[in-house]
Amino acid sequence: MKLIRYGMPGREKPGLVDAHGVLRDLSGVTPHLDLPSLGLAGLQRLRRIKPESLPRVRGTPRLGVPFTGISKLVAIGLNYSDHAAESGMRVPTEPIVFMKATTCITGPNDPIELPPGSLKTDWEVELGVVIGKTAKRVSEAQALDHVAGYCVVNDVSERHWQAERGGTWDKGKGFDSFGPIGPWLVTRDEVPDPQVLSMWLDVNGASRQRGNTATMVFSVARIISYVSECMTLLPGDVIATGTPPGVGLGMKPVPQFLKVGDVVSLGIEGLGAQRQVVVPG
């Protein structure tokens, strides 16, 4: 099941995308796609709905974040060995955990706002894992039982603030618009193995990132288990699980970063695609 929210910011309606790619209105069934309220049981009830029984949505409305109730956006750094190499860093022996501010979260096709004076704003396509059941110190074997589904995340990053301004990475990761999520929440039953998903990102139509979740240093199950030792994960929380090589920071001979007018397109196999235009912040 592919769940979606569509409409103007703050006025989004719930919907789903049927097997033919048609957007259907879910507002007659549930007023909100609120994972803290729905949880895994609520998603199971929604799966019993026949999509053809729902009204078809006409036109091409704006897409919002596909669900609400995100209390935390947790991210994992350097989780692909080849990305660690291009960044000039060692492959971690434990997951590197940092946080992205929830105020950075936007719809999948909303613009990226370039911070004033930005020197090194970069792109990162990532698999997002959406929690559906409270996870506290869960085992790796049980970790995926706590997943509601998966989505595409662009972990937009300002590298100067991230690495050269002192302190933690969080500063360069939390600017407004630096967390596009969507277009869909694809429920877990449609992604039997999250470790076999191809992913890609282009800038202005030129290929930048190509990868596969098979090459993660730490698997999705390992990440959920590890993070749940540090903090309780709640329904609706999102974990961005790291990015493959091809970021602007790693380009040779000269790193390349985003500028106003650039267009970023990205996607993950089975999870849909995003498109963002870079605008002044």
* Each residue's pLDDT tens digit, 36-48: 999 999 999 999 9
pLDDT for residue 184 is more than 80 = yes
| pTM score | 0.96
Q: Distance between CA atoms of 217 and 79, rounded to whole angstroms?
A: 5
Q: Distance between CA atoms of 78 and 89, rounded to whole angstroms?
A: 8
Among 209, 176, 190, 174, smallest CA distance to 82 is for 209
Q: Which domain holds residue 170?
A: 73-280
Q: How would you classify the pairing of strands 13-17 and 2-6?
A: antiparallel
Task: Kindly report, residue by residue over 85-106, the tens digit of the pLDDT.
Answer: 877 878 889 999 999 999 999 9
Q: How confident is the model at residue 279 (pLDDT cuts 50, 70, 90)?
A: very high
pLDDT, mean of residues 178-190: 97
pLDDT number for residue 88: 80
29 and 124 both lie in a single domain: no
pLDDT number for residue 187: 97
- Answer whether residue 186 is part of any domain: yes
11 and 118 both lie in a single domain: no
| DSSP H/E element including 85 | helix 81-86
Tell me how many domains the chain contains.
Answer: 2
218 and 120 both lie in a single domain: yes
85 and 218 both lie in a single domain: yes
Radius of gyration of the chain (CA): 18
**Which range has the worst mean pLDDT, 82-86, 168-172, 215-219?**
82-86
80 and 130 both lie in a single domain: yes
Burial (0-12, 13-18, 19+ Cβ within 10 Å), 101: middle
Would you tell me how many other CB atoms lie within 10 Å of the CB of residue 7?
Answer: 17
User: Are 28 and 53 within 8 A, CB to CB?
Assistant: no
pLDDT for residue 56 is more than 90 = yes
146 and 268 both lie in a single domain: yes
- Answer whether residue 263 is part of any domain: yes
pLDDT number for residue 54: 97
Q: Distance between CA atoms of 189 and 65, rounded to whole angstroms?
A: 20
41 and 91 both lie in a single domain: no
236: left (phi over 0), alpha (psi -120 to 50) or beta: left
169 and 268 both lie in a single domain: yes
